[in-house]
């Protein structure tokens, strides 16, 4: 008996085979999406510019290449120096908060470090372009590039958006000129230590103006009469001229200083009392920041608590190092934290938590949240959802094909 094969070949119908193929394709697509999410960074993430390292030039308020000149009483918070030149004229009228380096090895090293910092800032990839006059602008952290001269004839606002580590870098191809009474204003956590002006030729700061940041000029810097600078004037090849100016340190409050040990109630000192006393170990009345840190409420015994049971506890138990019940000199209110305040919010370690530097709100004091990362961005989530739908459709088709 001769057996003839079916004209359709196998016993599986073509529609069913097509459904199986579609299902398989859905499964493959889903797996590819998962592989992409694992291997790629979260969508929407962007790298903030890093600060510019100044090396030994960081200690200078003013550093010139050929010379530094001064007219009238000028105050510098940091060092003043010159290299390879050796002359600082008008030095007798300068009040120098740091050291004077006239053509010495320290100034020579600072110039080398300035060259490196200048090149570093100039080589960064711009995040935005600027031109002309910056008056009235509000800028957030980034690298701003100008292909020509840049001016400021009013107020420029730099917005840190709550991040004390936000960095602002300006790449100026030629000159930087600010007008009289102009101003660089820092808001929302922006700090002068993180503002840098890389100038391709020379900079001139107008009379009576207020300038913020570190100027790194290829040629010269002229700071005219009555100008105040929160930062530095560093010239590579030319001179820095001063005229009755005040240079203050570029403010740079680190997370450790401002927030690393701050209580959840917002006290400025990391171990401040729960009532906001300015000293971490001061009495509840906050009247003695240093000498009576461990005294009880009536101030009669520097080591004894009101009930005599705790050498370090304040009478009301609110001291940042005191236990609420006065039985443990370093315990938090629940006895679980050796450095916690009575309200359990001290950053030394929150009451009942295991992280020695975390605030009650999850801030570890470094300015970085300790909450878990949220995972892929919205775009990645959409791709994941699409892959899931494809997989679900594929499974449905496979089930139908088997039933047929």
Q: At what angle do helices 14-39 and 378-403 cross, to 10 degrees?
A: 160
Tell me the Cα Rg of the chain.
32
The pLDDT tens digits for 192-216 are 999 999 999 999 999 999 999 999 9
Give 250-257 contacts, CB < 8 A, sequence gap 24+.
Answer: 250/191, 250/192, 250/193, 250/195, 250/212, 250/213, 250/214, 251/191, 251/192, 251/193, 252/191, 252/192, 252/193, 252/194, 253/164, 253/191, 254/164, 255/164, 255/165, 255/365, 255/366, 255/367, 256/365, 256/366
13-22, 209-218, 260-269 — most confident range: 209-218
pLDDT higher than threshold 50 for residue 305: no
pLDDT higher than threshold 70 for residue 222: yes
Range 231-257 average pLDDT:
90
Could you tell me which of 372, 371, 385 has the C-alpha nearest to residue 37? 385
Angle in degrees, CA 165, 169, 172, rounded to 5: 170
pLDDT band at 391 (very low <50, low <70, confident <90, very high): confident
The pLDDT tens digits for 86-144 are 999 999 999 999 999 999 999 999 999 999 999 999 999 999 999 999 999 999 999 99
* pLDDT of amino acid 395: 75
Pick from 64-73, 98-107, 254-263, 264-273: least confident: 264-273
Cis status of the peptide bond prior to 184, with omega within 30 of 0: no
* pLDDT of amino acid 27: 53
pLDDT higher than threshold 90 for residue 162: yes
* pLDDT of amino acid 25: 53
* pLDDT of amino acid 360: 36
pLDDT band at 386 (very low <50, low <70, confident <90, very high): low
Q: Domain residues of the chain, as ranges? A: 11-42+376-404, 55-248, 260-369
Could you tell me which of 118, 99, 98 has the C-alpha nearest to residue 54? 118
3-state class (DSSP) for residue 14: helix
Q: What is the mean pLDDT of the chain?
A: 72
* pLDDT of amino acid 205: 98
* pLDDT of amino acid 100: 98
Range 362-367 average pLDDT:
40
Q: For 50-202, where are the E strands, in sequence order? A: 60-64, 67-71, 74-76, 79-82, 87-89, 94-96, 100-102, 128-129, 132-133, 138-140, 142-146, 150-152, 155-159, 168-172, 176-178, 183-187, 195-199
Range 145-155 average pLDDT:
98
* 130-166 exposure pattern, b = at least 16 Cβ within 10 A, e = fewer: beebbeeeebbbbbbbbeebbbbbebbbbbbeebbbb
227 Cβ contact list (under 8 Å, min separation 6):
205, 206, 207, 208, 209, 210, 211, 243, 245
pLDDT band at 252 (very low <50, low <70, confident <90, very high): confident
Residues of the chain with pLDDT > 70: what percent? Answer: 52
Range 24-48 average pLDDT:
46
pLDDT higher than threshold 80 for residue 187: yes
* pLDDT of amino acid 255: 56
pLDDT higher than threshold 50 for residue 374: no
Q: For tokens 């600027």, name the residue.
A: 130
pLDDT band at 250 (very low <50, low <70, confident <90, very high): very high
Pick from 17-31, 227-241, 251-265: least confident: 17-31
């Amino acid at each position: 008996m001769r057996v003839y094969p079916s004209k359709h070949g196998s016993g599986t119908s073509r529609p069913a085979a097509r459904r199986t193929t579609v299902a398989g394709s859905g499964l493959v697509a889903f797996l590819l999406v998962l592989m992409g999410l694992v291997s790629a960074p979260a969508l929407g993430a962007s790298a903030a510019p890093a600060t510019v390292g100044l090396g030994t030039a960081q200690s200078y308020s003013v550093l010139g290449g050929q010379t530094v000149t001064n007219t009238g009483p000028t105050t510098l918070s940091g060092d003043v120096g010159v290299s390879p030149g050796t002359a600082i004229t008008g030095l007798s009228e300068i009040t120098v908060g740091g050291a004077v380096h006239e053509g010495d090895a320290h100034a020579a090293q600072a110039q080398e470090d300035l060259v490196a910092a200048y090149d570093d800032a100039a080589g960064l990839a711009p995040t935005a372009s600027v031109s002309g006059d910056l008056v009235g602008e509000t800028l957030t952290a980034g690298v701003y590039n100008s292909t020509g001269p840049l001016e400021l004839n009013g107020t420029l606002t730099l917005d840190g958006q709550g991040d004390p580590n936000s960095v602002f870098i300006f790449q100026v191809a030629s000159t930087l000129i600010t007008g009289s009474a102009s101003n660089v204003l820092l808001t929302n956590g922006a700090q002068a230590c993180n503002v840098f002006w890389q100038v391709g030729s020379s900079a001139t700061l107008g009379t009576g103006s207020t300038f913020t940041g570190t100027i790194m000029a290829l040629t010269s810097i002229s700071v005219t009469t009555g100008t105040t600078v929160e930062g530095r004037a560093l010239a590579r090849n030319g001179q820095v001229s001063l005229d009755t100016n005040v240079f203050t340190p570029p403010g740079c409050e680190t997370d450790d200083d401002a927030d690393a040990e701050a209580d959840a109630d917002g006290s400025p000192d990391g171990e401040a009392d729960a009532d906001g006393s300015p000293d971490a170990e001061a009495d509840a009345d906050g009247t003695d920041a240093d000498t009576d840190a461990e005294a009880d409420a009536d101030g009669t015994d520097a080591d004894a608590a009101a009930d005599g049971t705790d050498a370090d506890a304040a009478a009301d138990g609110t001291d940042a190092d005191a236990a609420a019940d006065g039985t443990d000199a370093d315990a938090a209110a629940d006895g679980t934290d050796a450095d916690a305040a009575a309200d359990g919010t001290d950053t030394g370690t929150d009451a009942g938590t295991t992280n020695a530097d975390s605030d009650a709100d999850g801030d570890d004091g470094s300015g970085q949240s300790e909450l878990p990362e949220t995972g892929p961005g919205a775009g990645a989530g959409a791709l994941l959802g699409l892959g899931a739908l494809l997989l679900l459709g594929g499974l449905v088709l496979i089930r139908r094909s088997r039933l047929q």
